[in-house]
Structure 1
Amino acid sequence: MKHWTEPNGIFLIQIPIDWQYLNSGLSDYEEKSPYGFQPYEDPIGCFQISCYPLSELAPSIAKANPNGVRNLSWKASREDNSEFCTHLFFGAYYDQALIGKYIYDVGLEGDKRIAKQLGIAIKILNSVVIVPESDRKLAADFDKFDRFTGSLAASHDLLCAAIDAGACIEIIAIAANQIDAYLRLSLVIARQLDEKTNNIETRYLFQADGEKGIMERKVFEDALKFKIIDQEAFNCLSELYSLRNRVIHRYIISDIKSRDLVEIAGKYLSALERTRLTLRDFEQKQAVVPYGLYGTKFGKALVTDDAIRRLHASANDKHLLEKYKRSVSDRRR
């Protein structure tokens, strides 16, 4: 199983590692209730879960439980039509009203596969954990960090493919992305170490569409300011930044030769490895303290088979391409 966090940090659930979260993967879904899930392969139904403030959806229950509903139970019902069968589940937990649905084609009614999937859906519903209001921002921030690491893992698939193909422009572009990512994560960890805090500066890790983010040059400057890199490394990265822009934006209108791309790509790969080692040093420093992303409290520094499978699943979510898809099924079963 892998955990999934409601985008606002309101609740957590455990879903099968080989199930896809639909809202971030399909263009006709938004990141709001209902949140949809289904198996990556051969889906025959869709599980959805929604949450709403209890005071809005069930004010009488909220009034009768001023300190929140402490025991979660689900009331089941059906809502079928000529096309789809829908199993509905209603619950109240702490300050949230919860609605679960399992939806499938009416022609599959009575299918043994549906019964199995429905059983999984019920397990998911029973795994709900409501996050205390004071911790919801941290939960949402950790979710952004998890997506960041999944995207970073996926980028390595692209880099390996580019290296195998000898595609120098792709190597330069992806390596530049990864250097930027390593420095961003190093900055987050360095700030946590300095302030002895769990707070995550997600402005370094996530930029929504239409949102003004932190540009690559500013990341270099911040990394120098917080002594992530020294002046020599800053100068090297600045030089590579100029070369990359020349390659990407002025390959046709400049005198740069394709032969030159090989040397530039090599310089980028060397800088990438140096930056990776810088990040590794910060991760190791944080792994022995009780706070921060890799601190002992959250256990994210532990590398287990399940952790690797969850990372592969996150990379699959980033790619959504068969070419890069990894198997995440538990072979022990």
Structure 2
Amino acid sequence: MRKFVEKKGKYVIKLPEDWFHKNALYDAKESDPNSFELVEESVGTFQINVIDIAKGKIPDLIKNNNIQNQEYGKSNLDIVERFIEMDKFGMYMWFVRVEDNFVISKYIYDVERKNDEKVKLEIEKAKESLKSLIFVPAEIREQILIHYQFDKFMFSLASAGDLISRAYKSTNPIELVILLANQIDALLRLCLILHNQIETKTKEIDIKLISQRDEDKVVMEKSIYKMTFEKGIITKELHDELHNLYNKRNKVVHRYIISDLTTKDVYEISIDYSLMEKKIGDIVKFYEKEQHDNKIGMYGKGDSPSRAMTQDERTILQLMIDEKHSHYSFITKEK
């Protein structure tokens, strides 16, 4: 199962690992319900949406179905189930109320496939997922969202790694320079988080380092270089190398056409970036081991961070990489 947190942190739900979050793929609007389907050969769609209890016909729906108010922080909520069959579609609906929040969940499928064993299995998976649905108390939503955002940050790192692997195979030096620069920046941000956790003996995560919305103040790459140097994470030599590469990367991005820069030059810059990415990767591994050995921070408990991934973990990782890409031409077919 994979965890999903509503965008405002209102609820947490565990979903089947083979369900793909389709909103980005279909360019869904902000107000649209969260929709999930099988990655391949979908037979239906699971949707979940939170609506204010005072909105539209929701009060009548609550009254007519005798939907009782329930508690925050509780799993295995009492869920009211209804079934509707229309001309082309069959639809299971599930209703839950927690204080001012009203949840409508649906599983929608082609009515011609109502006896299909695969459809029946998906409906059962939807019901099982809803057992895990928990509404998060307001006082801990921010913390839940920060840790969920960190998970997304780590999956995005893996997604960038996937694109880097593709760029190596296609021998595209410009793509490699851009992606490796992005990867190095993210790895240094991770180093700052791990270093801070060791210093403070906490699992604290600075959200400004791992998430940047359009309206947020930008934390630039050069600022990250400076911060990691001041914290003793990187040496002065490495700091200067990063600045030198940064200037070369800018020339590749902005002046490839209008300068004397050759593709051979870009290829050599991509090699330098590749070597730098390995150096920064080794620093990350050092901090992960440091946390695990000293029982501090996010790696302080559990298995060693250097252990091999299980098959289930690989499956979920690939699903999250595909979701980050959110385009059929990038989705991995070989699972």
Q: TM-score, normalised by structure 1?
A: 0.86
Which residue identity lines up with residue 15 of structure 1 in the other structure?
Answer: L
| CA distance in 1: counterparts of 2:17 and 2:216, whole angstroms | 31
Higher mean displacement: 93-102 or 222-231: 93-102
Match of 1:228 among 233, 238, 251: 233
Alignment partner of 1:237: what SS? helix
Aligned length, in residue pairs: 327
What's the offset of the Cα at 1:241?
0.3
The answer to whether structure 1 residue 276 and structure 2 residue 281 are counterparts is yes
String of CA shifts for 1:297-328, please: whole Å, max 9, x gaps.
79987643322222121111112344551545
| CA distance in 1: counterparts of 2:217 and 2:274, whole angstroms | 28
Q: Hey, what does 1:304 align to over in structure 2?
A: 310
What's the offset of the Cα at 1:260?
1.6
Conserved? CA contact 1:70–1:94, under 8 Å = no
The runs of 5 or more residues in structure 1 that have no matched partner are 329-333
Q: Hey, what does 1:316 align to over in structure 2?
A: 322
What's the offset of the Cα at 1:293?
3.2
Higher mean displacement: 298-307 or 235-244: 298-307
**C-alpha spacing 1:40/1:65, structure 2 compared with 1 (3 Å):** closer
Alignment partner of 1:91: what SS? strand
Which residue identity lines up with residue 203 of structure 1 in the other structure?
Answer: K
What's the offset of the Cα at 1:186?
0.9
Match of 1:104 among 104, 109, 126: 109
Aligned CA RMSD, in angstroms, stands at 3.1
**C-alpha spacing 1:307/1:63, structure 2 compared with 1 (3 Å):** closer
String of CA shifts for 1:88-108, please: whole Å, max 9, x gaps.
111245775432211123333
Seq. identity, %: 29
Alignment partner of 2:298: what SS? coil
| CA distance in 1: counterparts of 2:288 and 2:259, whole angstroms | 41
| CA distance in 1: counterparts of 2:35 and 2:18, whole angstroms | 14
String of CA shifts for 1:260-292, please: whole Å, max 9, x gaps.
222211111111110111111111222245553
Q: Map of 1:104-253 to 2, 5 A cutoff?
A: 104-253=109-258
Alignment partner of 1:293: what SS? helix
**C-alpha spacing 1:150/1:67, structure 2 compared with 1 (3 Å):** closer
Conserved? CA contact 1:62–1:95, under 8 Å = no
Which residue identity lines up with residue 217 of structure 1 in the other structure?
Answer: K
Alignment partner of 1:99: what SS? strand
String of CA shifts for 1:162-205, please: whole Å, max 9, x gaps.
22222211111111111101001111222222222223112111
Q: Hey, what does 2:332 align to over in structure 1?
A: 325
Alignment partner of 2:297: what SS? coil
